[in-house]
Structures are given as structure tokens and as C-alpha cells.
Structure 1
Amino acid sequence: MEFFKSIGGFIMTPLYLAISAVLLGWHKLWGGIFGETTGIAWVLSIIGLTVVIRALLIPLFVKQIKSSRNMQLLQPKVKELRDKYGHDRERFAQEQMKLFKETKTNPFSSCLPLIIQMPVFLALFRLIDQAAKDPSVERGLMTVKLNEQFGDAVFLGAKISDSFTSTDLVGVRILAAVLVVCMTATTFLTQRQLMSKNMPADALTGPYAQQQKLLLYVLPLVFAVGGIAFPIGVLFYWTTSNLWTMGQQFYVIRNNPAPNTEAFRAKVERDKAKRARKGLPEPAPDAGSSPTALATEETKPVSRQQPKKQTRSQRKKGPARPGAPRTNPTTPNEQGETS
């Protein structure tokens, strides 16, 4: 048991330092405006911490969107492989991994932002929880004085360290319940936004789509059940993180949608209306602009190659017979004709 505790401490200690440093940096700003002991200063500091964490995760978020988009577009090909190798699970797995490798798609990339956020979530949870239960224990840069301020800070009549299950006060429970509902709703809407706006119709069927639909309803339910035990400060963190994800995802889907989706058709209409307002002509079809254009380009018949020009004497001789010796097409008698 001590071995696992030492490993946990080895992992969490740097997180405590990093999170407390960012948190106190924001608290220095908001504390100077609203007062160091006020709840609003600490809540805004938690929101500032969320913004910093999510800004650092932008590259992973972009990778997540690309991976999720590729997984959606590959579903028809995955279905073909399943129909072809469904009787041989090992061969199907090999061909599927080969397809992912050729298209540079990592099916696990969509989970990276959530996985990386979980240690941050746990570290913040521990900072808030222990600041209320045992402020004498210093974690990261949180001193005993800061722990007492953090644990006792009151926002809208509730302590930041309070949770729905840790108090009997009606006002605190109402605030905690509202935040749990907000956290659950934003989790659901974020996933639904991706499925309804940026998934082709043929990607809404199959195992991957079923997995996404399962997460659409199960993940918010998990957060709703677990959320009643989260401190109010942690609920602010997770709700703010979900709102950031919604905004970031809306921007990506609006400006770079997957082909053959509702978002893609909406972007085509917006671009068309924008060109009409400016009086610009319609752009020429581009083979790489859409799957339809690409398919048209791939099926376009190859143009017939024109034969090379020949002299009158060469045409009289006709095509060379196989195995016949090659002769110089321009003989001294024909120089006058070819010159």
C-alpha cells in the first residue's frame, strides 16, 4: 500500500505545484479587485485555471477533432472490411489497423483531452477538499492561510468546498444541483453537437456510431451521479471546461466541417451567399473540394493520345513489324521531304 501511495505522491506533487501556481496567479489578479477572501475571487481564479488548461490542450483538441472526423469518414470502408472479413476476426483487426495506419487515424486520440484532464480534475478536487477538511496540510504553493481562505470562501451563500451531499443547507444544495445540471447538460450538448452536425449519414450506423450514441447518454449520467459529491469549485471547473469545448467545437465544425454533413452543406450555402453579396462568380469545381468532385475526377475517362506526326514516306511504309530491324526514318533520299 505504501508503494502505491509513493507512486501517487510522485505523480500528484508536480500537478499540485502547477495547478496551485496558476490558481494563485489568477487569485492575485482577482483578489486585488474583489478581495483576497471573497468567494468570487476564488471562483474566477478557478475559471481562469480552466481557461489556461484548455488553451494548453488546443493542439490535442485539434488532433481529437481530426481523429474523430477520420473515424466517421472511414466507417463505410470499415463496414466493407467487416462484410469481407467478418468471419475472421483476426484478419479483420489486421486490415482495420492497416486502414487506420494508411489514413493516419488514431481511434484513441478522441479520448486524449479527457484523459489528460482527469489528473488535473483530481488534483483540483484534492486541493479544495483538503483545504476545507485539513488546511494545515500544504500542497503545492497553497499555504495554511491560503487553504483556510480557499476552503472558507463563500459564493452565492455556499462555500466553494461544499457539495450537494456534504451539507443540509437548502440554498447550498440548490446551487450545487444547478451546477450539476449545467455540467451534465453541457456534457450532453457537446457530444450531441458533434454527432448531429458533423457526422455523415452513413457514419451514423455501425459499431463506432453505436459507441458514440452510448457515450452520448451514459457519460452525462455518470457525471450527474458523481457530480453530487463534487465540491462547488470543481463543478465550476468542469462546467467551464464543457462550455469551452462547445465553443471550440462550434468554431471548428463551422469553419472546417466534414464532407457530406449538415455542417458542410451549411458552410456551402454561407459561402455561396457571401459570394453573391460581393458579386463574385461561382468557383470552378475542384477535385479535392468534396468527395463527389473527387469521385468524378477519379472516374473521368483518359483522353486519347494523338499519334506523332510522320513524313509521307514513313506513312507509306506502315507500322514496323515485330522483330523487324529498326531503320532511320530520315534517309538521304527523304531529306528533301523532311527539311
Structure 2
Amino acid sequence: MSLMKTRRGKWFLLITVMVLSLAVLSGCAPSAAVTHTTEDLKNGGFWQSNVVYYFAIALDKFADWFNGEYGLAVLVMVIIVRTLILPLTIKQVKSSRAMQAIQPELQKIQKKYKDTPEKVQQETMRLFQENKVNPMAGCLPLIVQMPIFIALYNSIYYNPHLREHSFLWLELGKPDHLFILPVLAALTTFIQTRMMTKMNPMQQQGPMQFMMMIYPVLIFVMSYNFPAALPLYWVYSNIYTIVQNYFLYRNNDKHKLAIASAVKSTDDSSPAPKSKSGNKSSKGAKKSK
């Protein structure tokens, strides 16, 4: 029961982060009726002058590498950000494998203490700590990227070159109402989450499966309403994740077996009860001597 609450909590946190980001992004952008420039960021608050300004300058620099193509500049930003958070992703993968490996022990706990939910929760957390499992590790990469999304959203309005740039069929400063980019963002998000469920069968259970279906829908709605540069970032990031997960999980079964052999059993900490029949047989052996 506690494990299910943990999984629900993880996906609830992910969806909450997405909804809060939607609210923040909707409220933090400057008025579209006013023309803004990158230089205006220097006179802004702490966020504008110390984060968004340098973010916009970096995008300008990356675009210069590709003859002013800001669509490719966003791709460079994705590669840099995702590479920087790769250690968090690897930690997430290790935690996910360990979570799968301790499933038999979790089932023992739930069966042994089925009448005392508090004890189930206590023993579950002890098992997590002993085997270095963090159920919320999967949220960290997304949470870390939230400031990047917000900074990118702000820089669209303050950077006239990015705001007015055309890339393929897109105007990066305007939403893609042809539905192509929102569909790509939702589709790559679905493929990414689908890969995770196949690699981690625990996430295929009812409530988790429902939440993972909602996640691409949220991405679609946000992609339809936001300037195209932001869902373009999501598409690039999702493709990066799909390729990354292929290499991280391709030997998943072998890694799970190695982790399972190292899992600390719930019975290890409790002494084995002495067998009365064993004591009697030993006494009988002494008498026969």
C-alpha cells in the first residue's frame, strides 16, 4: 500500500510541476503588445538580469554557429542541459533497477504486516534505505529542467532575433497552430514514457498507467498554447531521452540480476527462530550416546 502511495506521489508531483509551470509561464511573460530587447533584461529583476539575460546571450551565440538558425541553437541547448544532468539520470536508472529488484522483499513485508499499515510503511522505508532506493529519483531530471523551460520562455519575448525567427514551418515566437509540433511533442513524450513502462513493469499498474497517459496530453495542451521554441525544446529533449534510455537500459535484465543478488533481505536483520524439533532431536542424540 505504501509503495503504491509512493508511486502515486511521484507521478502526482510530476503533473503538479507541469501544471505549476503552466501557471508560472503564463504569468511571467511580458506583455506581447510591448517590444522588448535583450538589453532590457539588464535593467530587470534578479531573474531577468542574472538568468534570462545570459540564457538569451547563449542562444545568440549558439545561433551564430549555424548562420543564425535558432532552431538548431535550441538543439545545442538541449544537448548541453541533458548532458549536465546525465549523472541525475544515471542515478534515476540505478534507483529504478533497485526498486524492481526489491519487489519480492516488499511483497514479504506487505504479507507479514498486512494488519499493521504503520509497520508496513516503516519496514518499506527501511528496505529503501538499506538498498539505496529513492522512489522520487525519477522526478529530479524534470524538476531541474523547469528553470530552463521558464528561462527559454522569457528569452523568446526579450530576444527579437529568436522571437521573429522562422525554422522549418515554424515561427519560434508564435504557437504552432498547425498541430504538427504539439503532436510531435505529445508523441515523443508518449514513446518515452512507454519505453519506461516496458523497462520498469511496476509502472504498468492501473493508476500509474492512467497518469502516464495524462502526461502526453498535458504536453500537447501546453505545446499548442506556447511559442514554438518551447515545444521544440521538448521534442529535442524527448528524442535525446529515447536514445539515452535505449543505451542505458539495453542490458537491463543483466543489471537486475546483479542487483537482485545484492538485495538485503528483510529476514537478514531478524534472527532465525530456533527449531524445537531440532532441540529435541539433539537431546535424543545425547541420550542415545
Tell me whether the two structures share a fold, i.e. TM-score over 0.5: yes
2:53 touches 2:155 (CA, 8 Å); kept in 1? Answer: no
Higher mean displacement: 47-56 or 152-161:
152-161
State yes or no: 1:23 paired with 2:59. yes
Give the corresponding residue for 1:101.
129
Match of 1:105, SS state, is coil
CA distance change for structure 1 residues 46 and 75 in 2, over 3 Å: closer, same or farther?
Answer: same
Percent identical pairs in the alignment equals 30
Matched, 1:64 2:92: yes
Report the Cα offset of residue 290 of structure 1. Answer: 8.1
Q: How many Å separate the matches in 2 of 1:76 and 1:13?
A: 52
Quick one: distance in 1 between partners of 2:48 and 2:144?
13
1:117 matched to 2:113? The reply is: no
Q: CA shift at 1:219, angstroms?
A: 0.8
Distance apart, 1:127 and its partner CA: 1.5
Give the match's secondary structure for 1:228.
helix
Alpha-carbon separation, structure 2, partners of 1:57 and 1:222: 23
CA gap of 1:259–1:30, structure 2 versus 1, over 3 A, is same
Which residue of the other structure, out of 186, 189, 195, is the alignment partner of 1:187?
Answer: 189
The 8 Å contact of residues 174 and 227 in structure 2, kept in 1 or not, is answered as yes
Given candidates 194, 217, 223, the residue that maps to 2:213 is 217
After the TM superposition, which residues 318-333 of structure 1 pair with which residues of structure 2 at under 5 Å, given as runs?
none
Q: Measure, in 2, the Cα distance between the counterparts of 1:75 and 1:220.
A: 28
1:227 aligns with 2:223: yes
In the aligned structure 2, how far is the partner of 1:290 from the partner of 1:230? 43
Cα deviation, residue 95, structure 1: 0.8
Match of 1:244 among 240, 246, 256: 240
Is 2:95–2:134's contact at 8 Å kept on the other side of the alignment?
yes
User: Size of the alignment, in residue pairs?
Assistant: 221
Structure 1: unaligned runs, 5 residues or longer: 132-146, 165-172, 265-287, 295-339
Alignment-derived partner of residue 257 in structure 1:
252
Gaps of 5+ in 2: 1-27, 29-43, 264-289
Alignment match, 1:162: 174
| Residue 18 of structure 1: how far off its partner (Å) | 4.5
1:116-156: CA deviation from partner (whole Å, max 9, x where unpaired): 1111111111211x23xxxxxxxxxxxxxxx2222111223
Which digits, 9 at most, give the CA deviation of each residue in 1:93-132, with x for residues without a partner? 111110000001111111100111111111111211x23x
Normalised by the size of structure 2, how large is the TM-score? 0.68
SS in 1 for 2:173: coil
Worse-matched range after superposition: 78-87 or 91-100? 78-87
Letter in 1 for 2:98: N
The residue type paired with residue 211 of structure 2 is L
Compare CA radii of gyration and give the structure with the larger one.
1
Instruction: Give the C-alpha shift of residue 15 in structure 1.
Output: 3.1
State the distance in 2 between where 1:229 and 1:100 align: 40
Q: Indicate the structure whose relative CO is greater, using CA pairs within 8 Å and at least 6 residues apart.
A: 2
Q: Tell me how far 1:246 sits from its aligned partner.
A: 0.3
**Alpha-carbon distance change, 87 to 57 in structure 1, aligned in 2, over 3 angstroms:** same
Amino acid at match of 1:149: H
> Would the aligned equivalents of 1:69 and 1:258 in 2 still touch at CA under 8 Å?
no
Inter-partner Cα distance in structure 2 for 1:72 and 1:242? 24
1:16-38, Cα deviation, whole Å (9 max, x unpaired): 2452343222122112xxxx3xx
Amino acid aligned to 1:102 = E
CA gap 1:215/1:204 in 2 versus in 1, 3 angstroms: closer
Deviations 1:1-49 (A, max 9, x none): xxxx9xx954565432452343222122112xxxx3xxxx011101111
1:233 maps to a residue whose letter is A
Report the TM-score, using the length of structure 1 for normalisation. Answer: 0.59
In the other structure, the counterpart of 2:101 is 73
Contact 2:114 2:120 in 1 (8 A): yes
Residue in structure 2 matched with residue 149 of structure 1 by the alignment: 161
CA contact (8 A) 1:15 1:120 kept: no
> Which secondary structure state, in structure 1, belongs to the residue aligned with residue 195 of structure 2?
helix
- Paired with 1:290 and 1:114, the residues of 2 have a C-alpha distance of 26
